Structure 1
């Protein structure tokens, strides 16, 4: 299988890190991305500019390949279904992508399979959402095309319904949670399954992006076991081949609920490149090539800080504080080959290792304070 011709739909930062892992194994990787200057462009063995949502483009890209995977869910599933019918291996499978593309279908899938999640009501438009005052406080989520915090509105009281989406979506009951957790689980074609250690995520207060995370999460052994069990059960229910990132709420009354999932490498696993015996990116290749899954153990406690474009700056990116960062032991920057910055754009991430948790947290504060992405 290592000699297979492999395609990735998407050439952004996740594709870049998949490609970096693929280089170690001399994999023949082909990239399709709509951006002629996508992060993968400079190092991809084969790069094609084209729409990920156009049927003909995706089909033509895939028909000469053996295995096709994704780094983003917003792709043309109909083309992937046809390719699958013609004998191409598509991982994650088109049926999984289709379910996860629509948050309405995704939520109903959890309910149908006995997977714990917050209460929800499916809504057709803004007027329909406003009929459910008694369900508040809640979040109104777009069924399709929400991404990185876009497509989510908090509806705390009836006066907030003007913010609801006038498209099919869902109202999700606001959950009082103690922590936001994530478990990345991998599963290959033979059914072998492994979880990475549970991580604790901290989100940006305004933009609903992961600002930083700690691994492993500061939780009890019993909570850790339950989180991994729920993630594993979710992966088995989908029957996914590849990586599945399962985002979870640990509620104030001790329950664990699924928030959302992503059928690909994920922001909550960036740190694994340095912090774990096997990175999530190598593990994804192992899973879709049906190879033995790698050891997921943590080599040391770690943190990951997302490097976001500073508010108020747009233009050619300038990275301030890199000298200070590189002078700090066990601090590793990963930049995403994006020359143009804008407010809160993901420009890179920084992985931090330290055996001492308090020192690890001090390093996180140091990185957040001193490393900035501005513009010329």
Structure 2
């Protein structure tokens, strides 16, 4: 007989209390699984949905050790955690997914890029530097990326001339060829501890030109079946190389000549999978819980075409949040807003998302554009 998980003393721990943690709790509450969450901010989105909330820094070794020793299985909602503590918890026999080994291969982008090279995974040509070098020998323009700490468009810059390197932080970084791509795609791979694997359909991502954040995620991607199959096969190749447990979101470029290059990965639920709450048989958050608890994987098929719109703070607005226009979008067909519960907004901060579903992906994308125009994340006057 398997270990009792439901309505039992079993406890799942989640490091990080942001919106991804909050949305994981949709499943644990549905299944009556006891869930502990740790975050340094007691106003974090996941605060109200967990069984017990622990206030603590997930980068602090002792805090993570003390938290991890109280749970049966430990997972994350963000990669910036104390990985040494995770390794020591694994050595004590606590199941940690994704493992410390996988996080060490992914959280540093320079290590991640070298991993692709070592495992014959197609990726853009790159150089690794200890600090930004003026005498780099790379043709302009190219992409500078901080090796650690970058997220939501931070830690990434287009270098068009030598002077663009002058004010960059003096940290380990990557110089990457600028790819002349047709589309940016993503595939989420689910893998449980027993080795069962499934992929979600390929999605297409449209980015904000200034913030370098995803504005729209479109499922299914507007590509032909041959490209879709190739993208899913490469995602499975990446997943097999990492030998991870949980979700792995694989972001890719589709080049103008039809090649697919892996950009980067995230070992957790991901922005590119938010559409699945309304658009899939099994949403990505439930799937992640299934993976880390070694339960059978759910069906990854789409039930309807879906487009996700990110809701981010408007420029010029910092303070108590107001969702101006939310009543208007609620009256639109196929529209479901998700508000993350962050009380304070600031420019480009992720505050929520909206899913638009329709039997026709073109119609869903058109409505998504209307949603983008009608709702604004602002502050009180």
Q: Normalized against structure 2, the TM-score is what?
A: 0.96
Aligned to 1:131: 135
From 309, 314, 322, the counterpart of 1:305 = 309
From 38, 41, 62, the counterpart of 1:56 = 62
| Contact 2:219/2:361 (8 A) holds in 1 | no
Instruction: Indicate whether 1:122 and 2:132 are aligned.
Output: no
**RMSD between superposed Cα atoms in Å:** 1.1
Instruction: Indicate whether 1:69 and 2:60 are aligned.
Output: no
Kindly provide the CA deviation profile for residues 282-312 of structure 1, in whole angstroms up to 9, marking residues without a partner as x. Answer: 0001111111110000001110000111111
Aligned to 2:188: 184
Q: Normalized against structure 1, the TM-score is what?
A: 0.97
Aligned to 1:151: 155
CA distance in 2, matches of 1:27, 1:365: 38
> After the TM superposition, which of the residue ranges 1-10 and 167-176 deviates more from structure 2?
1-10
| Contact 1:133/1:157 (8 A) holds in 2 | no
CA distance in 2, matches of 1:169, 1:45: 40
- Which runs of no fewer than 5 residues in structure 1 stay unpaired? none
> After the TM superposition, which of the residue ranges 349-358 and 235-244 deviates more from structure 2?
349-358
Kindly provide the CA deviation profile for residues 302-327 of structure 1, in whole angstroms up to 9, marking residues without a partner as x. Answer: 10000111111111111111221111
Per the TM alignment, residue 359 of structure 1 is displaced from its structure 2 partner at its CA by 1.8
Aligned to 1:12: 18
Per the TM alignment, residue 163 of structure 1 is displaced from its structure 2 partner at its CA by 4.1
Aligned to 1:295: 299
From 326, 334, 338, the counterpart of 1:334 = 338
1:193-342 matches, within 5 Å, as 193-342=197-346
CA distance in 1, matches of 2:292, 2:69: 18
Secondary structure of 1:61's counterpart equals helix
Per the TM alignment, residue 159 of structure 1 is displaced from its structure 2 partner at its CA by 3.1
| Contact 1:103/1:143 (8 A) holds in 2 | yes
Kindly provide the CA deviation profile for residues 77-133 of structure 1, in whole angstroms up to 9, marking residues without a partner as x. Answer: 00000000000000001101111110010000000000010001110112xx22223
CA distance in 1, matches of 2:152, 2:361: 28
Per the TM alignment, residue 165 of structure 1 is displaced from its structure 2 partner at its CA by 3.5
Secondary structure of 1:243's counterpart equals strand
Kindly provide the CA deviation profile for residues 155-176 of structure 1, in whole angstroms up to 9, marking residues without a partner as x. Answer: 1233322144421111111100
| Contact 1:140/1:165 (8 A) holds in 2 | no
CA distance in 2, matches of 1:307, 1:33: 23
CA distance in 2, matches of 1:360, 1:230: 28
| Contact 1:315/1:375 (8 A) holds in 2 | yes
| Contact 2:142/2:178 (8 A) holds in 1 | yes
CA distance in 1, matches of 2:84, 2:61: 7
Secondary structure of 2:138's counterpart equals helix
CA distance in 2, matches of 1:50, 1:259: 32
CA distance in 2, matches of 1:216, 1:352: 13
Instruction: Indicate whether 1:23 and 2:23 are aligned.
Output: no
Aligned to 2:348: 344
Count residues in correspondence. 374
Secondary structure of 2:356's counterpart equals strand
